[in-house]
Amino acid sequence: MNFLKPIGRGLAALGRLLGRLWRWFFYGLLNGRRRLARRKWADYVVFELDGEVVERTPPQPWYMGLLPFASPPVTLESLSRALAAIAADPDVYGVLFLVRGAQISLAQGQSLAALFQRFRKWDAAENGPQRTIEKDVVVYLEAMSNATYLMAAAANRILIPPQADWNVLGLHTEPTFLANTLEKLGVQADVIRVAPWKTAFDRLARSEMSEAEREQINRLFDGWFDSLVTAISQGRVLGENQVRSLIDQAPLSAAAALEKTLIDGIAYEDELPGLLSIGDREARLQPYGRARRYLKRKHRPSHPRSIGVISLSGTVMTGKSRQFPTALPILGDSTIGSATVQQLVRAAAKDDSLAAVVLHIDSGGGSALASDLMWRELSLLARKKPLVAYLGDVAASGGYYIALPAHKIVCQPATLTGSIGVITAKLITSEAYRKVAANRVSLRRGKNADLYADSRPWRGEQRDKIEDSVTASYQAFKDRVAAGRHLSPERLEELAGGRVWTGSQAAENGLVDELGDFAVAVERACRLADLPTDGRVATVAVEADQPLMALSAKALEIEGRSLVLSDLAEFAFAVLGRDWSALLGQERIWLLADGLPPTKS
């Protein structure tokens, strides 16, 4: 049977050759049509950012493409592909981003800023140093936040409407502590942890902020604020002290922002074609969906092997991954199920066309058991092929735990990560029942059958058992980190204890390897797999043999469609079934980083 392998390789090579010939012919036809429609070319290709922007394009069933108004949501992945196509066209003058109500995090703002810089490099590489047009990146800010302005600072020009304010106010959080409120209701949170900076459940168990949490949030704010100031300083060519002073003066009117060179112009949207004029004529502005039909196509030889992408977003739980039509307490609007991840990782390991895998993580953690099951599966994958982890907005506690098998970990300076610690809790409701004159009777078989019952706090031997379990899980977590990051026990103690770090702080402390966006993670995976890094290697989403979730609730919200019955059924199952009851009960140990300052603005 060995003689079949050369035949198979030969057929595969023939298929690739025929594919290249077909693309060469097809692109020739498209470029011929393009030359006949010169008046339809776009001078500036327009992208609108409104609402939530996600990192990766969510999976969609095949039939969604047949439905009207079923355009995919704007993602960093789709924007990167679009800008690469625009960079290859020598006749496009630039891109225009209309930023309306965009909800992006500081880490996403950094990714978009990096994408603008990469777009200019693509333009130079595609069209050469002798090009007559150096593509322009223009950002029109109707609504402004820390993150959107950080992104805009990397553009060539920033424009705002006359009545808009320069609204970069800095950072603020105002957590609410509910221990006294719960006491009035007859509810008490019983929390066990071994790490003072593990502040998950503090909102329920405390009446005020602990000194450890105050120190932690101040450290995170220092890191984020430094990143914001540095980005504005470099993008607008202003001194860092000057930027800090301007932030303290905010909000500033459009005229004041223009005077202080924080923006480049003031205009209404209808004035943009004239403001971006090409010679003596107004610029033709077209949305990407229309402009792409007339972009110049270039044939690029593709590499036979690819980089697989596994994208994990949500709270770590056992079982299958799920999406909910609305956010649940602690769970959020999605879960990363260990059973689903195991299948995806095994599929990636078996797929010989994947030379390496990039693991994209956006999670504050969750179940310790589920985290360890994923860690094991990813460790096996890392033995077979290169594995690079890219940490999104948040990859902390269990989210950081599952990144540890990776050969390289990449994140943005504003990413939240770390939180090496363990916690468990349950809500005690006996007093609440007493207040409403409800009499509960407890019957049991087995000395510790009521270990997770909400009728009384942990005491005596039962509390010792829980504390021993938390301590053992914490030690296992530290062992994983020490082995994966090559840290001594003494050094690790300085970084653990539940402490959360920004990406910049994590890089300084050896918890991650490199700062950068998703494209940097892909480049590192290519290098580890001895593949070219010139863009010829495609990235493909890893799919398991069994059907995955169709369209996420988040994508449905972005596209403005109503929820279907299957989504409502999933939601009802989550509320009434095991997932909901497991939050503070059956899932006894949590690798959870909860109650952190918000990452989106």
The 3-state secondary structure of 378-430 reads: HHHHHHHCCEEEEEEEEEECHHHHCCCCCCEEEECCCCEEECCCCEEEEEECH
pLDDT(314) > 70: yes
Strand order of the β-sheet with 157-160 is 265-266, 157-160, 136-141, 94-103, 44-52, 285-287
Q: Which of 42, 38, 35 is nearest to 282 (CA)?
A: 42
Distance CA 412, CA 529 (A): 23
Provide the H-helix boundaries in 128-176.
Answer: 146-152
Distance CA 575, CA 209 (A): 30
The counts of H helices and E strands in the chain are 22, 23
Residue 457: HSE in the Cβ half-sphere, 13 Å Cα cutoff: 10
Distance CA 431, CA 437 (A): 10
Q: Give the pLDDT of residue 116.
A: 97
Instruction: Please tell me which residue, 52 or 107, carries the higher pLDDT value.
Output: 107
Distance CA 128, CA 135 (A): 12
- Indicate the residue type of 591: L
Q: How confident is the model at residue 390 (pLDDT cuts 50, 70, 90)?
A: very high
Instruction: Please tell me which residue, 166 or 455, carries the higher pLDDT value.
Output: 166
pLDDT(11) > 70: no
Range with top average pLDDT, 14-23, 453-462, 475-484: 475-484
Q: How confident is the model at residue 28 (pLDDT cuts 50, 70, 90)?
A: low
Instruction: Please tell me which residue, 300 or 137, carries the higher pLDDT value.
Output: 137
pLDDT(547) > 50: no
Note the pLDDT tens digit of each residue in 34-70. 555 556 678 999 999 998 898 988 766 555 555 555 5
Q: Give the pLDDT of residue 448.
A: 87
Note the pLDDT tens digit of each residue in 154-200. 999 999 999 999 999 999 999 999 999 988 889 898 898 888 888 88
pLDDT over 70 for what percent of the chain?
81
Quick one: 14-169+250-294 is in which CATH superfamily? 2-enoyl-CoA Hydratase; Chain A, domain 1 (3.90.226.10)
Q: Give the pLDDT of residue 61.
A: 55
Token pair 């809790």 in the structure block, residue: 425
- Indicate the residue type of 70: A
Range with top average pLDDT, 402-416, 536-550, 579-593: 402-416
Q: What is the average pLDDT score of the chain?
A: 85
Q: Give the pLDDT of residue 536.
A: 87
pLDDT(581) > 80: no
Q: Where are the beta strands (DSSP E) in 350-386?
A: 354-363, 365-367
Supply 248's token pair: 């303290």
Q: Give the pLDDT of residue 2.
A: 55
pLDDT(553) > 60: no
pLDDT(568) > 80: no
Q: How confident is the model at residue 569 (pLDDT cuts 50, 70, 90)?
A: very low
Q: Give the pLDDT of residue 471.
A: 92
Q: Where in the chain is the domain with CATH 3.90.226.10?
A: 14-169+250-294, 306-424+503-592
Q: Give the pLDDT of residue 92.
A: 92
Tell me how far CA of residue 531 lies from CA of 350, 356, 541, 592, in angstroms: 19, 10, 18, 36
Q: Give the pLDDT of residue 323.
A: 79
Third-level CATH fold of 306-424+503-592: 2-enoyl-CoA Hydratase; Chain A, domain 1 (3.90.226)
- Indicate the residue type of 171: L
pTM for the whole structure: 0.85
Strand order of the β-sheet with 590-592 is 188-193, 423-428, 590-592, 365-367, 315-317, 332-337, 322-328
pLDDT(559) > 50: no
Give 99's strand partners. Answer: 49, 141
H/E element, 225: helix 211-236
Among 294-303, 365-374, 417-426, which is the least confidently predicted range? 294-303
Torsion on CA atoms 499, 519, 406, 486, rounded to nearest 10: -60
H/E element, 333: strand 332-337
Q: What is the DSSP string of 43-73?
A: SEEEEEEEEE-BSSPPP--GGGGGSTT-PPP
Q: How confident is the model at residue 270 (pLDDT cuts 50, 70, 90)?
A: very high
Q: Give the pLDDT of residue 442.
A: 86
Supply 333's token pair: 């609007």
Q: Give the pLDDT of residue 426.
A: 84
Among 254-258, 331-335, 410-414, which is the least confidently predicted range? 331-335
Q: Give the pLDDT of residue 420.
A: 95
Q: Give the pLDDT of residue 201.
A: 85
Distance CA 304, CA 8 (A): 14
Q: How confident is the model at residue 574 (pLDDT cuts 50, 70, 90)?
A: very low
